[in-house]
Structure 1
Amino acid sequence: MTNSPPPAEELRILDAELRQLDARRAVLLARRAWLVNTLYAAPPAPLAPPARRTEATAPSVQNVLLVLGGLLLTVAAIAFTLVSWGHMGIAGRALVLGAVTLAALGVPLPLLRHGLRSTAEAVAGLGLALTVLDAYALHEVTFTSVQGIGYAAAASAVLAGVWAAYGVGIGVLVSTEPAGRAEGEEPHRSPTGSVLLRLPLPLALLAAQLPLLLWAVARDAGPVTITAAVLATAAADTAVALLVSLKPVRIAAAAASVGMGAWGVLAAGWLSWSASDPSSAAPAAGLLAFAAVIALTAAWHAPEPKLALGTALTGGLLLVAAVGGVLRVSLPGAWTVPGCLLCGVALLAVVRMRLPDPVRRGLAAASGCVQALAVAWALPLVALVLVGPLGWVERIWSAAPEDARAAVTTNLPWPAHAATGPLVLAVVAGVLVVAGRGTAWWGQALMAALMLGVAAAFVVSAVLELPYAVGMVVQGFVVVAVLAFAGAAPRLEAPVKPDEGAAPVRSPLAATAVVLALVTSLSLACVALASRTATLVVLAVLVVVFAAAAAWRRESGVWLWCAPASLAYATALTCAIGAAADWRPQHTALLVLAVPVVAAVVAARLEGSSMTVPVEVTGAGAGLLAIGLASTDPPVLALVLGLGGVVASGTALRPDRRHVGYVAAALFLLAAWVRLASWGVGTPEAYTLPVTVPALLLGVVRRRRDPRVSSWTAYGPGLTVTLVPSLLAAWGDLDWPRPLLLGAAALAVTLLGARHHLQAPLVLGGTVLTLVALHELAPYIAQVVGALPRWVPPALAGLALLALGATYEQRLRDARRVREVLGRFR
């Protein structure tokens, strides 16, 4: 039996089912529409296959095929001429070669008229090759008695003329532009406007390189004539390159000119180098001059500035080489480089003439190259004079040398032909000053001239072999003069007066001068090591000179090194005085301490200048040297350390050098320790109490100034320095006075910490007191433990652990209270 729902409930159910049917119907309709669109949609177009990448263009393929064809035909013609020539009669030979050659030379004409340029080039190349075979065949048949090299010279000249005429004539015969010319292609034209082949004229130019050279060889000419023929050919190539407008011809002529010119220059240079007298050097010089004229002519008419600059540079160097070759065999060896240098300087006079700008710059560059080479020639002499005196460090005060040259050479050889080295350096320095005036590189020119001038003046005493003392005087004057020049250097670099109150201008020229003064003074000091008197005098003079320079110029910059240099030389002077007086090193150390004293006084008077730190560092270095000298004698070492502490204390009085007080304290402490060690004192308290008492006093003063300072910071270091070493000594001491005194002191420290609520004294004193008590009770505890049965200690430990565990919470509360109490201490 089925029970129907009430009407209202049934109506609700029907409505719900209808809504579900509507939703399902909407889904089915949407799916149907999609399927219809899919079925009736147009099919997609097929994808195009990827295009193949072209690996070779049509013109390139055509050119390769034509070149290969022409080469094969040329090879066939050569094979025919060499192999099959003897199987034919005279008429047949002439008819075959003449017909083939004329055909090969005539075919390019119709080909050009039909626009087949590449094919015409290939056939023309074949025809030109056949003309060479014709010349060879003509010699083998008709001119058999003529010398081969001479015939080759005449044949190459004839072939060059024939090829050039053929190249020009074929263009004249072609009256119309080829129809097959590619779009955008620029045809080569003759002066009359006709199209030209590319090959004949460049090949004619290459063939023209042989006639003069082969003619000279055929006449059994010497190297001079052969070199002249090569240079004449290079001159002709240069003329063609400058006068002809056709690009292929111009490129071929330029390449031929460079090749033949380089060959001729190398040959002429070898002739000049191998010449032994002026008569053999003159022709080589003439050849080099001829090459220079060719290069300068090319530079004058060169279309590009870079090319003109390079050729002018080459021409200028060749002119100097030409004159230098003659000077080498005409003058003594020492004057060859000065003579070449004068020639290089003379090029600057030519620069003043009305010349194209690239040519002027090229000649100036050539002059600079010659001067640079001359300076490089003189540099070994300068290096020897500067570095050679270092050899006296190993032979100090051995014996005064005979002259200034022996003073700088020691065990080194003297450079050959170095007598004119100072003259070379001086000339280049003068040229830089004159040529650089009013230019943008005036400052750099002055710096270079200064270095060269100082080098020239410094080496002149060794070059002239002046007496030893006179040489040192000359070098000393050089040092003084350089420092004086450094003072005037800013005015030379900056002619405009700076505004008042402006920062001092940093002068690179002054920096260079001061550096040169330092380097030359060091070399002079090494030279003076050969003699005791010279050492004392030179070091004293250097001390005064650099001190005066530092007092004269106190501004920032390189001048700040003058005062340290003076102090360094003063240190060396004190050591030299001690050695001259036969003092022991530890006694000399007391004299060396005068340098740190002077440095401290000078640094205090400088009032924050940039020179202060270098002066203080130099003084500290002298102090370390004094300590090292006194290290072998403990009493003197203690005295040196104490005096160093006094100097450091005086420095620490300055507001900006308060931190030096730590250094002073360390020096005083080291002095006390060294003194105690020298007395044989082995008690640790004698070494620690001198540290503890000042440290605690400083801690009290610091706590009064700033109550927030922790007791660990104020008193911890001082207490630890004494308590810890004394505790270690007490644990190894079998007597009772030390533990008793240490325990009393620890008890006093603990009580003071508890009284003033100070954490550090309380903890340190209590810890030391406990450890001392354990140390004193240790024998008795050991006796008790030894008397007890072996099971008693484990049993007592177990009971203690049980008791601790039973009252664990209470123990934690007690430990927390102790921590809170200590936390309230400082």
Structure 2
Amino acid sequence: MDNSLPPADELVLVDRELAQLDARRSQLLARRAWLIQVLYPPVSAAAPLRPRPPVADSTPRSAQNVLLMLGGTLLTIAAVAFTLVSWGSMGIGGRATVLAVVTGAALAAPVALLRRGLASTAESVAALGLVLTVLDAYALHRVAPAETDGPGYAAVASAVLAGAWAAYGSALSRLRSPLPAAVVAAQLPLPLGVLAAGGGSTAFAWAALLTATADAAVVLWTRPVSVRITAGAAATALGGWALLTGGWLSLVTPWSGAPLLLAGAAVTLYAAWRVPAFAAAASAVAGLAVLAAAGGLLRAALPPDWAVPGYVLCALALTSTWRPGGAQPARPEPAPAGTDLGPVAPAAGEAGPADVRPGAVGAGSGSAGARSAPAAPVGTGGFGARVPRGIRTGLAGAGAGVVALGVVWALPPVVAGLLGPVARTTGVWSGEHAARPLASCPATALLVLAAAVAALAALPRLWARCGALALAWALLTVLPVSLGLPYAATLALQLLTSAAALWLAVRPGPLSRGLRAVTAPAGRADAPGTDARDPHAAPRETTGPAVPGASAPTAAGPRVPGAGTSWPAWAPSRPRAQAPAVEPAVVLGWTAYVAGLASAGSAVALALDVRGATFAALGVVLALLTGVAVLGADGRRVVSAVGAVLAATGLVFAVAAAGGFEDRWTALALLLVPAATAALGSGAPRPVALAVEVAGGSVGLLALGIAASRPAFLALALALGGVIAAATAVRPERRRFASWTAAVLFLLATWVRLAVWDVTAPEAYTLPVSVPALVVGYLRRRRDPEASSWTAYGPGLAVTLLPSLPAAWVDPEWARPLALGVAALGVTLLGARFRLQALLVLGGAVLALDGLHELAPYVVQVVGALPRWLPPALAGLLLLAVGATYEQRLRDARRLRERLGRMR
């Protein structure tokens, strides 16, 4: 070993050599275990299985305990009955004799029983003796003078019994029940003594606290587990009662409750310091007690409105005990055998190498030693450097809880300032302002919010920055309510709040300064050859000669011959999978954005009281949202673009209302919004453009709904909407949907205009649809000759022929049936010529029905002139003819169906 090295480097070298030796020893032990398993297979694998005996329902020890418990219980019942029933019939001598003999025998018998090894029997007899001592105390009270005070006697008797049982249990240390029983009896003297002295609730709480302090001392300085558990439960119960009483006294008489709370807090903090496992919970209780005491004193000295701020300020002072950058020395953590700790690199902010205590690494024990944190804690010194982390966490948690309750107390005015304008009780543009909700809200709510903002802003954590941002917005929102600002100032402050929040949503850089992206590992993964518990550990190294018959040692460990797989202890693990990083700027930006939108909505609702304020608020909101849509990122751009469209719609409504427009002119004015969105969408990114156009389309539907009461203006609005859609169809990404939308709007405009002109001919409505549909079908058949005629021409023909057929049947004139028949004939001939099934079927069917309509009057006339018996006779002849040629008709029908099937 090179003694010229500095001590720190030499210590690192020693750690590394010891770790390598331990790793090598673990490998050899695992190899030896495998060889033993190969050479000496387990006997149970070759031996035949023998039937196992049935499992007993109970063990002899449990049966013995049940019998002893039963016997002790019966003797106890007998002793109680004797004391309560037969005591009065004996003289003083008999009483003394019975008390001395029975109790002495019961307490002395365990000594002999323990010498014979009968520990369970001795335990039962000792328990009986303890019960007899209680009965003896009761019997003595029965013969005591009548003026003897009951609570006082009970206090003295419980103290004597506690001392006697403690001495008895200490003398017979193998008995388990006397010492816990002594602890239970020791809980009574002080509280019963207070009751005997006529003390009130304060004195009783002090007695309970003193008893709980003694119990805590028993927990800390005694060894039997049963005694510590009993004392711990008693200390929790009595200490909790004392602290609850102190909390109630701090509200009624603070100067009486504060000393009690502070004393309880001191005891609890000392217990937390000595028992690290319960440090956080116990110190949290102590912190709440301190806050109740200090806050109660401040509440008594300050006006009522300052009560909650007083508690909050005390809580903030307590929260300052937590130092996020501090670190406490960790206790040595034993590493499992075969684990290579390697040199422990100093953590961030630590100075010097790791501290390895002497004797931590046992030679030949198979342990890799213990790893210890630096001897000196990290931090800035002071309170945070001396107090354990658990206590600081508990105290800070108690303070944070009280601060949170104070913030909740200050939130109702925030909700009133935000949603108050929405719950409108006055008319729009009436110039009247509704009464402020929660007008009696104390102005100290501002102080609570400001203190919380300052405390959270000082923490370099993402959640703290988000909370500080939200509370700062709440502070600005509650300011008009708490200070009673006038209408103009309130509206201006809300707009400024919205502008500031939206600006931070676009540029959250100043808010995220000093924060790092948050990543969370999605699963366990350790790099091969690296200690999983220590991120600074060096890769594992193996030294020494290789085991005969094994492969060369690697970081993954030697391989067993024939096994085919590496040993699980050194199997290389998969790489760590990490969740995507959460950028602080994104989270803070969204927080500010939501706050800005909320303030903008509240400002617009408030501005509806006055006409000029409405125009100003809508204009400012439109400008702000447009700016976010242009400068923002991710989904904030989309939401802002939709909000800008809504603000523009509100401005159009406001202009129409100010100008006294009728509904039809308002509807036409609203079409400016979808026209503008269609124009702006051409230059915007795809997600923003789609959102803007959808919002504009929704406004267009609203305009059509408003214009529906005047059909002439509805036709004009539909035509203008068709123009907008047709202009949008020029863009390649919107061509198909916008073109169909334009066609539908133009068609609807035509139909509405025809209805306004009282046009009743169905062809006037169907021809504008069928002609473009047939043209589109023809173009499709040119591109795709295999396309079906029903797909290409069926919709266009059906739109015209089918509605015209009922009209021709009810038309008394001859022009429409003749025109329909000629058109159907032409369609049928075209279908037969080009072998198009849709044209042949539709044209033929319409032609046949139209011809039947023309022959119907003559058929009716002829039928009316014939005898009544002739129609049934003709029908019978027809059926006979069909029946005689049924087979031929079936063949003809099948042939016709096949021909139609071959058509397109």
- TM-score, L = length of structure 2: 0.76
* Residue pairs, 1:1-150, within 5 angstroms: 54-141=56-143, 145-150=147-152
State the match for 1:42 in structure 2. Answer: none
**What runs of 5+ residues in structure 1 fail to find an aligned partner?**
1-47, 172-194
In structure 1, C-alpha distance between the alignment counterparts of 2:389 and 2:607, rounded to whole Å: 53
* Residue pairs, 1:376-391, within 5 angstroms: 376-391=408-423
* CA offsets 1:537-578 (integer angstroms, 9 cap, x no match): 21222111101110112x433331100011012112222222
Code of the residue aligned with 1:331 in structure 2: it is L
State the match for 2:841 in structure 1. Answer: 763
State the match for 2:702 in structure 1. Answer: 625
* CA offsets 1:285-335 (integer angstroms, 9 cap, x no match): 22122222222111111152xx22211111112211222222333323332
Secondary structure in structure 2 of the residue aligned to 1:776: helix
* CA offsets 1:193-235 (integer angstroms, 9 cap, x no match): xx43212211111111111111211221222111111111111
Code of the residue aligned with 2:261 in structure 1: it is L
How far does residue 426 in structure 1 lie from its aligned partner after superposition?
A: 3.3
Code of the residue aligned with 1:61 in structure 2: it is A
Secondary structure in structure 1 of the residue aligned to 2:174: coil
**What runs of 5+ residues in structure 2 fail to find an aligned partner?**
1-49, 324-382, 518-579
In structure 1, C-alpha distance between the alignment counterparts of 2:93 and 2:645, rounded to whole Å: 106
State the match for 2:188 in structure 1. Answer: 210
* CA offsets 1:670-698 (integer angstroms, 9 cap, x no match): 11111222222222122112212222233
Equivalent position to 1:302, from 266, 275, 287: 275
Instruction: Say whether residues 1:267 and 2:245 are aligned partners.
Output: yes
What's the RMSD between the two structures over aligned residues? 2.9
In structure 2, C-alpha distance between the alignment counterparts of 1:417 and 1:804, rounded to whole Å: 97
* CA offsets 1:8-33 (integer angstroms, 9 cap, x no match): xxxxxxxxxxxxxxxxxxxxxxxxxx
* Residue pairs, 1:477-516, within 5 angstroms: 477-489=496-508, 493=512, 507-516=586-595
- Say if 1:286 and 1:322, in contact at 8 Å, map to a contact too: yes
- Say if 1:556 and 1:610, in contact at 8 Å, map to a contact too: no
Instruction: Say whether residues 1:470 and 2:443 are aligned partners.
Output: no
Identity percentage of aligned residues: 51
Instruction: Say whether residues 1:679 and 2:681 are aligned partners.
Output: no
In structure 2, C-alpha distance between the alignment counterparts of 1:818 and 1:142, rounded to whole Å: 126
* Residue pairs, 1:453-602, within 5 angstroms: 453-489=472-508, 493=512, 507-553=586-632, 555-602=633-680
State the match for 2:448 in structure 1. Answer: 424
Instruction: Say whether residues 1:640 and 2:717 are aligned partners.
Output: yes
State the match for 2:457 in structure 1. Answer: 433
In structure 1, C-alpha distance between the alignment counterparts of 2:850 and 2:599, rounded to whole Å: 68
Code of the residue aligned with 2:809 in structure 1: it is W
State the match for 2:429 in structure 1. Answer: 397
In structure 2, C-alpha distance between the alignment counterparts of 1:810 and 1:126, rounded to whole Å: 115
In structure 1, C-alpha distance between the alignment counterparts of 2:88 and 2:295, rounded to whole Å: 59
- TM-score, L = length of structure 1: 0.83
Code of the residue aligned with 1:349 in structure 2: it is S
In structure 2, C-alpha distance between the alignment counterparts of 1:367 and 1:734, rounded to whole Å: 94
- Say if 2:630 and 2:637, in contact at 8 Å, map to a contact too: no
- Say if 2:805 and 2:850, in contact at 8 Å, map to a contact too: yes
Secondary structure in structure 1 of the residue aligned to 2:479: helix
Secondary structure in structure 1 of the residue aligned to 2:507: helix
In structure 2, C-alpha distance between the alignment counterparts of 1:270 and 1:120, rounded to whole Å: 47
- The 1:803/1:128 distance shift into structure 2, 3 A limit, reads closer
Code of the residue aligned with 1:205 in structure 2: it is V
How far does residue 755 in structure 1 lie from its aligned partner after superposition?
A: 4.9
State the match for 1:745 in structure 2. Answer: 823
- Say if 2:413 and 2:441, in contact at 8 Å, map to a contact too: no
- The 1:730/1:803 distance shift into structure 2, 3 A limit, reads same
Instruction: Say whether residues 1:778 and 2:847 are aligned partners.
Output: no
- The 1:669/1:105 distance shift into structure 2, 3 A limit, reads same
Instruction: Say whether residues 1:375 and 2:407 are aligned partners.
Output: yes
- The 1:463/1:817 distance shift into structure 2, 3 A limit, reads same
- Say if 2:413 and 2:481, in contact at 8 Å, map to a contact too: no
Which deviates more from structure 2 when the two are superposed, residues 380-389 or residues 536-545?
A: 380-389
How far does residue 751 in structure 1 lie from its aligned partner after superposition?
A: 4.0
Instruction: Say whether residues 1:445 and 2:464 are aligned partners.
Output: yes
State the match for 1:612 in structure 2. Answer: 689
- The 1:591/1:806 distance shift into structure 2, 3 A limit, reads same
In structure 2, C-alpha distance between the alignment counterparts of 1:113 and 1:397, rounded to whole Å: 101
- The 1:395/1:58 distance shift into structure 2, 3 A limit, reads farther
In structure 1, C-alpha distance between the alignment counterparts of 2:134 and 2:874, rounded to whole Å: 127
How far does residue 809 in structure 1 lie from its aligned partner after superposition?
A: 6.3
State the match for 2:304 in structure 1. Answer: 333
State the match for 2:212 in structure 1. Answer: 234
In structure 1, C-alpha distance between the alignment counterparts of 2:313 and 2:212, rounded to whole Å: 29
Equivalent position to 1:667, from 725, 741, 745: 745
Higher RCO, Cα 8 Å, sep 6+: 2
- The 1:368/1:576 distance shift into structure 2, 3 A limit, reads same
In structure 2, C-alpha distance between the alignment counterparts of 1:140 and 1:801, rounded to whole Å: 124
Secondary structure in structure 2 of the residue aligned to 1:583: coil
* CA offsets 1:715-749 (integer angstroms, 9 cap, x no match): 22222112111111110111122212222333333
In structure 2, C-alpha distance between the alignment counterparts of 1:816 and 1:310, rounded to whole Å: 91
- Say if 2:821 and 2:846, in contact at 8 Å, map to a contact too: yes
- Say if 2:641 and 2:688, in contact at 8 Å, map to a contact too: yes
In structure 1, C-alpha distance between the alignment counterparts of 2:803 and 2:67, rounded to whole Å: 102
State the match for 2:540 in structure 1. Answer: none
- Say if 2:778 and 2:792, in contact at 8 Å, map to a contact too: yes
Code of the residue aligned with 1:427 in structure 2: it is A
- Say if 2:68 and 2:124, in contact at 8 Å, map to a contact too: yes
In structure 2, C-alpha distance between the alignment counterparts of 1:142 and 1:632, rounded to whole Å: 104
